[in-house]
Amino acid sequence: MPQSPAVSVPLGLLFSTEGDYALLSDEARRGALAAVSRVNASAERRVSFEVHEADPTGRTDRYAPLCADLLRGGEIRHVVGCITSWSRKEVAPVLERHGAMLWYAPPYEGYEAHDRIVYLGACPNQHIVPLLGYVVPRFGADAFLVGSNYIWGWEVNRIARDLVGDAGGSVVGERYLPLGDVEVSRMIEEIRATRPSFVLNNLIGPSSYAFLRAYAALAAEDEAFRADIRPVISCNLVEPEIAELDGAGEGHIAVGPFFAGMARSPLPEAAVTSSFMASAYSAVLILADAIEAAGDDAPEAVCRAFASRSFLTPLGDIAIDPHNHHADLPVRIGVLRGDRFEPLWQSPFLVAPDPYLSHYDPRTAFARPALRAIS
Protein backbone atom coordinates (compact mmCIF):
# COMPACT_ATOMS: atom_id res chain seq x y z
CA MET A 1 0.00 0.00 0.00
CA PRO A 2 1.58 3.36 -0.98
CA GLN A 3 2.73 5.60 1.88
CA SER A 4 0.76 8.81 2.47
CA PRO A 5 2.56 11.93 1.24
CA ALA A 6 4.53 13.86 3.82
CA VAL A 7 2.70 16.60 5.67
CA SER A 8 4.31 19.99 4.96
CA VAL A 9 5.07 21.96 8.12
CA PRO A 10 6.09 25.64 7.91
CA LEU A 11 9.35 26.33 9.77
CA GLY A 12 10.79 29.73 10.63
CA LEU A 13 14.51 30.51 10.53
CA LEU A 14 15.72 33.62 12.38
CA PHE A 15 19.42 34.14 11.73
CA SER A 16 21.49 37.23 10.95
CA THR A 17 23.71 37.37 7.88
CA GLU A 18 25.43 40.57 9.06
CA GLY A 19 26.90 41.87 12.29
CA ASP A 20 29.59 40.90 14.79
CA TYR A 21 28.43 37.28 15.12
CA ALA A 22 27.43 36.70 11.47
CA LEU A 23 29.99 33.93 11.04
CA LEU A 24 28.49 31.92 13.90
CA SER A 25 24.96 32.71 12.77
CA ASP A 26 25.72 31.52 9.26
CA GLU A 27 27.13 28.29 10.63
CA ALA A 28 23.93 27.55 12.57
CA ARG A 29 21.77 28.57 9.61
CA ARG A 30 23.67 26.22 7.30
CA GLY A 31 23.12 23.40 9.80
CA ALA A 32 19.38 24.02 9.95
CA LEU A 33 19.05 24.20 6.17
CA ALA A 34 21.12 21.04 5.68
CA ALA A 35 18.84 19.17 8.07
CA VAL A 36 15.73 20.50 6.31
CA SER A 37 17.13 19.18 3.03
CA ARG A 38 17.78 15.79 4.65
CA VAL A 39 14.26 15.58 6.07
CA ASN A 40 12.61 16.71 2.84
CA ALA A 41 14.64 14.26 0.71
CA SER A 42 13.71 11.21 2.82
CA ALA A 43 11.09 8.92 1.32
CA GLU A 44 10.52 7.47 4.78
CA ARG A 45 9.54 10.72 6.41
CA ARG A 46 5.91 11.60 7.10
CA VAL A 47 6.77 15.27 7.52
CA SER A 48 8.56 17.84 5.37
CA PHE A 49 9.46 21.46 6.11
CA GLU A 50 8.65 24.64 4.23
CA VAL A 51 11.24 27.23 5.28
CA HIS A 52 10.38 30.88 5.93
CA GLU A 53 13.40 33.05 6.73
CA ALA A 54 13.83 36.41 8.43
CA ASP A 55 17.16 38.22 8.76
CA PRO A 56 17.65 40.69 11.64
CA THR A 57 21.05 41.73 10.15
CA GLY A 58 22.71 41.61 13.55
CA ARG A 59 20.38 44.19 15.14
CA THR A 60 19.01 43.04 18.47
CA ASP A 61 15.98 45.34 18.15
CA ARG A 62 14.90 43.53 14.96
CA TYR A 63 14.57 40.04 16.42
CA ALA A 64 11.24 40.48 18.22
CA PRO A 65 9.36 42.21 15.38
CA LEU A 66 10.72 39.80 12.76
CA CYS A 67 9.82 36.83 14.94
CA ALA A 68 6.31 38.29 15.29
CA ASP A 69 6.11 38.64 11.50
CA LEU A 70 7.01 34.96 11.09
CA LEU A 71 4.43 33.85 13.62
CA ARG A 72 1.60 36.17 12.61
CA GLY A 73 -1.28 34.15 11.23
CA GLY A 74 -0.51 31.11 13.34
CA GLU A 75 0.80 28.84 10.58
CA ILE A 76 4.42 28.82 11.78
CA ARG A 77 4.69 27.32 15.25
CA HIS A 78 8.42 26.53 15.37
CA VAL A 79 11.41 28.81 14.79
CA VAL A 80 15.07 27.74 14.67
CA GLY A 81 17.29 30.70 15.34
CA CYS A 82 18.98 33.38 17.45
CA ILE A 83 22.67 33.32 18.34
CA THR A 84 22.96 35.68 21.30
CA SER A 85 21.18 35.57 24.63
CA TRP A 86 19.98 39.12 24.03
CA SER A 87 18.13 38.01 20.91
CA ARG A 88 16.77 34.88 22.60
CA LYS A 89 15.38 36.95 25.47
CA GLU A 90 13.92 39.47 23.00
CA VAL A 91 11.86 36.83 21.21
CA ALA A 92 10.67 34.95 24.33
CA PRO A 93 7.62 37.22 24.94
CA VAL A 94 6.72 36.94 21.24
CA LEU A 95 6.77 33.15 21.48
CA GLU A 96 4.51 33.31 24.52
CA ARG A 97 1.97 35.54 22.79
CA HIS A 98 1.80 33.34 19.70
CA GLY A 99 2.09 29.95 21.40
CA ALA A 100 5.20 29.07 19.39
CA MET A 101 8.55 27.39 20.11
CA LEU A 102 12.15 28.55 19.60
CA TRP A 103 14.89 25.98 18.95
CA TYR A 104 18.14 27.54 20.17
CA ALA A 105 21.48 26.05 19.08
CA PRO A 106 24.39 28.01 20.68
CA PRO A 107 25.98 27.39 24.06
CA TYR A 108 24.59 29.76 26.64
CA GLU A 109 25.09 30.91 30.23
CA GLY A 110 22.33 28.88 31.88
CA TYR A 111 20.07 29.96 34.73
CA GLU A 112 17.07 29.81 32.44
CA ALA A 113 14.37 27.31 31.49
CA HIS A 114 11.48 28.42 29.31
CA ASP A 115 8.58 26.28 28.19
CA ARG A 116 8.72 27.96 24.76
CA ILE A 117 12.44 27.34 24.15
CA VAL A 118 14.36 24.13 23.44
CA TYR A 119 18.07 24.49 24.25
CA LEU A 120 20.30 22.38 21.98
CA GLY A 121 23.52 24.15 22.99
CA ALA A 122 25.58 23.40 26.08
CA CYS A 123 24.67 24.97 29.44
CA PRO A 124 27.21 25.66 32.26
CA ASN A 125 27.61 22.12 33.60
CA GLN A 126 28.30 21.06 30.01
CA HIS A 127 30.87 23.76 29.21
CA ILE A 128 32.49 26.04 31.83
CA VAL A 129 32.43 23.54 34.72
CA PRO A 130 34.19 20.67 32.88
CA LEU A 131 36.51 23.13 31.11
CA LEU A 132 37.78 24.60 34.37
CA GLY A 133 37.79 21.12 35.89
CA TYR A 134 40.28 20.15 33.19
CA VAL A 135 42.38 23.33 33.13
CA VAL A 136 42.81 24.17 36.82
CA PRO A 137 44.65 20.98 37.90
CA ARG A 138 47.02 21.32 34.95
CA PHE A 139 47.76 25.05 34.78
CA GLY A 140 46.71 26.58 38.10
CA ALA A 141 43.66 28.32 39.49
CA ASP A 142 44.36 32.05 39.00
CA ALA A 143 42.27 33.45 36.16
CA PHE A 144 41.99 36.56 34.04
CA LEU A 145 38.48 36.92 32.61
CA VAL A 146 37.69 38.76 29.38
CA GLY A 147 34.35 39.08 27.64
CA SER A 148 32.08 41.04 25.37
CA ASN A 149 29.94 43.46 27.32
CA TYR A 150 26.64 41.63 27.20
CA ILE A 151 24.81 38.71 28.83
CA TRP A 152 27.07 35.83 27.74
CA GLY A 153 30.27 37.51 28.91
CA TRP A 154 28.81 38.80 32.18
CA GLU A 155 27.17 35.56 33.22
CA VAL A 156 29.80 33.02 32.20
CA ASN A 157 32.43 35.13 33.93
CA ARG A 158 30.20 35.38 37.01
CA ILE A 159 30.03 31.58 37.15
CA ALA A 160 33.77 31.37 36.52
CA ARG A 161 34.48 33.68 39.49
CA ASP A 162 32.63 31.29 41.78
CA LEU A 163 34.33 28.23 40.31
CA VAL A 164 37.80 29.77 40.55
CA GLY A 165 37.14 30.59 44.21
CA ASP A 166 35.98 27.02 44.84
CA ALA A 167 39.23 25.80 43.27
CA GLY A 168 41.31 27.91 45.67
CA GLY A 169 42.32 30.44 43.05
CA SER A 170 41.66 34.11 42.47
CA VAL A 171 40.46 36.28 39.60
CA VAL A 172 43.42 38.56 39.00
CA GLY A 173 41.62 40.69 36.42
CA GLU A 174 38.33 41.06 34.55
CA ARG A 175 37.75 43.25 31.51
CA TYR A 176 34.98 43.74 28.93
CA LEU A 177 34.72 45.22 25.45
CA PRO A 178 31.65 46.41 23.56
CA LEU A 179 30.55 43.93 20.90
CA GLY A 180 32.76 44.42 17.85
CA ASP A 181 35.45 46.48 19.65
CA VAL A 182 38.97 45.34 18.70
CA GLU A 183 40.99 47.63 20.99
CA VAL A 184 42.52 44.97 23.21
CA SER A 185 45.86 46.53 24.17
CA ARG A 186 44.79 47.41 27.72
CA MET A 187 43.63 43.85 28.33
CA ILE A 188 46.92 42.49 27.07
CA GLU A 189 48.98 44.81 29.27
CA GLU A 190 46.99 43.85 32.36
CA ILE A 191 47.46 40.18 31.56
CA ARG A 192 51.17 40.77 31.12
CA ALA A 193 51.29 42.45 34.54
CA THR A 194 49.10 39.97 36.48
CA ARG A 195 50.46 36.74 34.90
CA PRO A 196 47.37 34.56 35.46
CA SER A 197 47.41 30.77 35.22
CA PHE A 198 45.03 31.03 32.25
CA VAL A 199 42.74 33.48 30.45
CA LEU A 200 39.03 32.72 30.03
CA ASN A 201 37.94 34.29 26.75
CA ASN A 202 34.24 35.17 26.45
CA LEU A 203 34.74 37.73 23.71
CA ILE A 204 32.63 37.41 20.57
CA GLY A 205 33.59 37.56 16.89
CA PRO A 206 36.09 40.25 15.82
CA SER A 207 36.87 41.15 19.45
CA SER A 208 37.90 37.56 20.15
CA TYR A 209 40.00 37.31 17.00
CA ALA A 210 41.82 40.57 17.77
CA PHE A 211 42.47 39.43 21.34
CA LEU A 212 43.90 36.06 20.32
CA ARG A 213 46.18 37.67 17.75
CA ALA A 214 47.41 40.16 20.37
CA TYR A 215 47.94 37.36 22.90
CA ALA A 216 50.02 35.47 20.32
CA ALA A 217 52.14 38.60 19.85
CA LEU A 218 52.61 38.78 23.64
CA ALA A 219 53.74 35.15 23.67
CA ALA A 220 56.24 35.91 20.91
CA GLU A 221 57.74 38.61 23.17
CA ASP A 222 57.54 36.62 26.42
CA GLU A 223 57.49 32.83 26.28
CA ALA A 224 55.82 32.72 29.72
CA PHE A 225 52.60 33.42 27.79
CA ARG A 226 52.96 30.48 25.42
CA ALA A 227 49.76 28.48 25.05
CA ASP A 228 51.29 25.45 26.74
CA ILE A 229 52.12 27.57 29.82
CA ARG A 230 49.28 30.10 30.08
CA PRO A 231 46.49 29.06 27.71
CA VAL A 232 43.49 31.01 26.58
CA ILE A 233 40.41 28.87 27.13
CA SER A 234 36.97 29.26 25.60
CA CYS A 235 33.44 27.86 25.68
CA ASN A 236 32.43 29.29 22.30
CA LEU A 237 35.36 29.11 19.87
CA VAL A 238 34.46 26.93 16.88
CA GLU A 239 36.06 25.70 13.67
CA PRO A 240 34.80 28.32 11.17
CA GLU A 241 36.53 30.99 13.24
CA ILE A 242 39.99 29.41 12.96
CA ALA A 243 40.72 31.04 9.61
CA GLU A 244 40.11 34.47 11.19
CA LEU A 245 42.93 33.90 13.70
CA ASP A 246 45.87 33.66 11.26
CA GLY A 247 47.40 30.91 13.41
CA ALA A 248 47.04 32.89 16.65
CA GLY A 249 44.82 30.27 18.27
CA GLU A 250 47.47 27.54 18.11
CA GLY A 251 47.63 25.53 21.32
CA HIS A 252 44.69 27.17 23.03
CA ILE A 253 41.84 25.15 24.51
CA ALA A 254 38.08 25.02 23.90
CA VAL A 255 35.12 22.98 25.08
CA GLY A 256 32.01 21.97 23.16
CA PRO A 257 29.63 19.10 22.43
CA PHE A 258 31.12 18.60 18.96
CA PHE A 259 34.44 19.19 17.23
CA ALA A 260 34.86 18.01 13.66
CA GLY A 261 38.34 16.70 14.42
CA MET A 262 37.35 14.76 17.53
CA ALA A 263 34.34 12.61 16.74
CA ARG A 264 32.61 11.13 13.76
CA SER A 265 28.97 12.03 13.41
CA PRO A 266 26.71 9.01 13.94
CA LEU A 267 24.99 10.32 10.81
CA PRO A 268 27.87 10.15 8.30
CA GLU A 269 25.82 11.85 5.63
CA ALA A 270 25.43 14.88 7.90
CA ALA A 271 28.62 16.77 7.05
CA VAL A 272 28.65 19.13 10.03
CA THR A 273 31.71 21.25 10.74
CA SER A 274 31.16 22.71 14.22
CA SER A 275 29.02 22.53 17.36
CA PHE A 276 26.88 25.46 16.15
CA MET A 277 26.10 23.63 12.93
CA ALA A 278 25.64 20.28 14.67
CA SER A 279 23.21 21.72 17.23
CA ALA A 280 21.06 23.54 14.66
CA TYR A 281 21.05 20.42 12.47
CA SER A 282 20.02 18.36 15.49
CA ALA A 283 17.21 20.80 16.31
CA VAL A 284 15.55 20.23 12.95
CA LEU A 285 15.93 16.44 13.10
CA ILE A 286 14.52 16.29 16.62
CA LEU A 287 11.61 18.51 15.62
CA ALA A 288 10.82 16.25 12.65
CA ASP A 289 11.00 13.12 14.81
CA ALA A 290 8.85 14.67 17.53
CA ILE A 291 6.19 15.86 15.08
CA GLU A 292 6.01 12.37 13.60
CA ALA A 293 5.78 10.79 17.04
CA ALA A 294 3.09 13.25 18.18
CA GLY A 295 1.18 13.34 14.93
CA ASP A 296 0.94 17.10 15.37
CA ASP A 297 3.26 20.12 15.23
CA ALA A 298 1.60 21.87 18.18
CA PRO A 299 4.41 22.79 20.61
CA GLU A 300 2.65 21.11 23.51
CA ALA A 301 2.36 17.85 21.59
CA VAL A 302 5.98 18.09 20.42
CA CYS A 303 7.18 18.59 24.00
CA ARG A 304 5.21 15.58 25.20
CA ALA A 305 7.07 13.55 22.57
CA PHE A 306 10.38 14.34 24.34
CA ALA A 307 9.52 12.07 27.25
CA SER A 308 11.13 8.62 27.48
CA ARG A 309 12.87 8.68 24.11
CA SER A 310 16.09 9.72 22.43
CA PHE A 311 16.86 11.18 19.01
CA LEU A 312 19.67 10.23 16.63
CA THR A 313 21.55 13.42 15.70
CA PRO A 314 25.05 14.56 14.70
CA LEU A 315 25.65 15.12 18.44
CA GLY A 316 24.86 11.48 19.16
CA ASP A 317 21.78 9.67 20.36
CA ILE A 318 20.58 12.47 22.62
CA ALA A 319 17.54 13.18 24.78
CA ILE A 320 15.70 16.37 25.68
CA ASP A 321 14.80 16.79 29.33
CA PRO A 322 11.00 17.27 29.26
CA HIS A 323 11.13 19.40 32.43
CA ASN A 324 13.75 22.00 31.48
CA HIS A 325 13.90 21.54 27.66
CA HIS A 326 17.70 21.20 27.64
CA ALA A 327 19.60 18.45 25.83
CA ASP A 328 21.77 15.70 27.23
CA LEU A 329 25.09 16.32 25.47
CA PRO A 330 28.58 14.92 25.16
CA VAL A 331 31.39 17.09 26.55
CA ARG A 332 34.59 17.39 24.53
CA ILE A 333 37.71 19.43 25.29
CA GLY A 334 40.09 20.09 22.45
CA VAL A 335 43.33 21.92 21.74
CA LEU A 336 43.66 23.93 18.54
CA ARG A 337 46.29 22.51 16.21
CA GLY A 338 46.48 23.98 12.74
CA ASP A 339 42.99 24.04 11.26
CA ARG A 340 41.29 21.70 13.72
CA PHE A 341 40.76 20.85 17.37
CA GLU A 342 42.58 17.76 18.55
CA PRO A 343 41.25 15.76 21.51
CA LEU A 344 42.38 16.31 25.07
CA TRP A 345 39.46 14.81 26.99
CA GLN A 346 35.88 13.78 26.52
CA SER A 347 33.09 12.39 28.64
CA PRO A 348 32.41 8.72 27.92
CA PHE A 349 28.68 9.35 28.39
CA LEU A 350 26.14 12.07 27.75
CA VAL A 351 26.05 14.75 30.45
CA ALA A 352 22.55 15.57 31.68
CA PRO A 353 21.73 19.30 31.64
CA ASP A 354 21.90 21.19 34.93
CA PRO A 355 21.20 24.77 33.81
CA TYR A 356 20.98 26.13 37.36
CA LEU A 357 24.04 24.19 38.60
CA SER A 358 21.85 22.71 41.32
CA HIS A 359 23.95 19.52 41.35
CA TYR A 360 27.36 21.20 41.13
CA ASP A 361 29.83 19.82 43.70
CA PRO A 362 33.15 21.69 44.07
CA ARG A 363 34.69 18.65 45.77
CA THR A 364 34.56 16.70 42.52
CA ALA A 365 34.70 19.49 39.94
CA PHE A 366 38.43 20.15 40.34
CA ALA A 367 39.75 16.65 40.86
CA ARG A 368 41.67 15.42 37.86
CA PRO A 369 38.99 13.87 35.65
CA ALA A 370 38.54 10.16 36.16
CA LEU A 371 36.68 10.01 32.88
CA ARG A 372 38.16 9.25 29.51
CA ALA A 373 41.52 10.89 28.85
CA ILE A 374 42.70 10.96 25.24
CA SER A 375 46.32 10.97 24.28
Residue 14, beta-bridge partner list: 54, 81
pLDDT tens digit string along 190-248? 999 999 999 999 999 999 999 999 999 999 999 999 999 999 999 999 999 999 999 99
Q: For residue 70, what is the enclosing H or E element?
A: helix 60-71
Instruction: Provide the 3-class DSSP secondary structure of residue 320.
Output: strand
Instruction: Provide the 3-class DSSP secondary structure of residue 138.
Output: helix
Report d(CA 375, CA 373) in Å as an integer: 7
Whether the per-residue pLDDT at 289 is higher than 80: the answer is: yes
pLDDT tens digit string along 294-310? 999 999 999 999 988 99
Report d(CA 90, CA 161) in Å as an integer: 27
Contact between 120 and 327 under an 8 Å Cβ cutoff? The reply is yes
The domains of the chain, with CATH numbers, are 7-121+265-318 (3.40.50.2300), 125-260+331-373 (3.40.50.2300)
Per the prediction, the chain carries an average pLDDT of 94
pLDDT tens digit string along 129-153? 999 999 999 999 999 999 999 999 9
Report d(CA 67, CA 98) in Å as an integer: 10
